[in-house]
Amino acid sequence: MMCVQFKVRKVIHFYYKGIMEIRSQDLVILLGSVTLCLYLYIKWIYNYWGRRNVPYLKPRFPFGNVEPIWATKLGFHQTIANIYKEFKTKGYKFGGAFTLLRPAFVPVNLDILKHIMIKDFQYFVDRGVYYNEETDPLSAHLFSIEGDKWRSLRTRLSPTFTSGKMKHMFQMVMDCGKGLEDEVQKLCKNKQPVDIKEIGALFTTNVIGSCAFGLECNCFENPNNEFRHHTREFFKGGIGRVTRNLVTLTFPSLCKKLGVIVFPEDTTKFYKDVVKNIVDYREANNVKRNDFVQLLLNIKNGDSSEGNAFTFDEIAAQAFVFFLAGFETSSSTMTFAFYEMAKDQEVQDKVREEIRRVVAKYDGKITYDGIMEMTYMSQVFDEALRKYPIVATLERIATKDYKVPDSDLTLKKGTKVLISLQGIHHDPEYFPNPEKFDPDRFSPENREKLHPCAYMPFGEGPRICIGLRFGIMQAKIGMAIMLKDYKYTLNRNNPDMELSSKAPLLAPKGDVLLHIEKVD
């Protein structure tokens, strides 16, 4: 009996061992097959431009032509600028690249770019920027939404950014300028290096708080107030932010299905609470104010012939993007301009002389008309945005098949287009000696010679930045206040400025320290 049991166990063990060996072999074959299919699929994707006879840069799995997230040194915008430069050097009118596994079309020729941005805009209405109205309501703002909804919203919001409206808002900005003037005077007395980047940020936060929300942020008295805290957190970048931006850029549809959240929950809650309190108070007390929220309220209550009234989330999203865009672009441009003027005292002296001359003409006051007459300061502002375009890469999506002019290439619907402003603005064909800061590039006679798409820091065509007049106005007011009676020089211990490789927009890395001194 024992002998029989032993033989049975032996037979069972033999068959079990055989089954496991077969399963192991099957598993190896299965894994090998999956790996091979995946390899062939990736190779097929990475030959996307090759199959279309488009010159392209050889991608590397899994990041394509962008840097590995953990080893980011250049940053996304400089990487795209380098791709533009390589295609330009080789004489290509356009080329192909890859962000992760997604093909991207990179235009180089400015005439082709003009078609994309202006002439054939109907093919490139959408930016392809990720947003999700359900899980991330603040992301569904004018900059990111698409199609007919964008057209309707753009039409309804445009009236608040006319030159007439800017004149009405001018005094509101000047009221915030008093705090800026007091702060500069105090910092000058301390005789310590000051972070010019933070000064500009505090000023523009006060301005946007007032002009958009009707609130006094008092950032100079309380630099860590909640508005400044949330904007600082939003723009500080980091590997997590770089990863999220790259994934949403490459797989927006998938991210939308997965309900990916871009904006931090505490930031969303803060801004929604702020807007709700303002809306509730104004509606309960019949309060009206000449600001951005009031325009949104008018539309919400049906005072518009265009489309349906706003929902609360739509109001919050538009107010939020107005705050972020108006704050960051103006403060960063001011930072870059002051840094360059600190390096070139001749340029700074010329701007100061112009400010004083114009202010004297208007009885010692900074006025709207006076700001419009400060042409050399405008050239400095333009050159700062030429050398440091805040939104350094523009994005578009082909909303339908599009034949690229003077070529055999047809871009398929859904193709991503990456336009490198950093590359174009630093192209020596359009701007000789591009690393030199030279405001004379934008003198009236020189500006007329520029191709319309050689310089477009606010974008171009129907999707040009809707708030550019306001952004320029507040930055110029800030510059006039800060430069009229004060001189700025580089910090001897820390004279160089470095750009961040992990920030979502083009921005300085760390503090930008300058010395301030009073001038007669």
Summarize the annotated binding site as residue ranges.
465
Contacts of 438 (CB under 8 A, 6+ apart): 383
Alpha helices in 46-137 (DSSP H): 48-51, 76-89, 110-114
As annotated, the binding site for heme includes 465
Angle between helices 468-483 and 345-361 (to 10 degrees): 100
Residue of 41, 126, 58, 68 lying closest to 97 (CA atoms): 58
Strand partners, 513: 195
* Measured distance between the N- and C-terminal CA atoms of the chain, rounded to whole angstroms: 116
Strand partners, 490: 514
Alpha helices in 115-195 (DSSP H): 147-157, 163-190
Residue of 511, 23, 435, 518 lying closest to 236 (CA atoms): 511
* Ranges assigned E (strand) in 193-316: 194-195
Separation CA 289–CA 294 (nearest Å): 6
- Say whether 15 sits in a helix, a strand or coil: helix
Separation CA 450–CA 464 (nearest Å): 18
Contacts of 20 (CB under 8 A, 6+ apart): none
Reading the block at residue 140, the tokens are 């569904």
Separation CA 131–CA 260 (nearest Å): 9
Reading the block at residue 4, the tokens are 């029989």
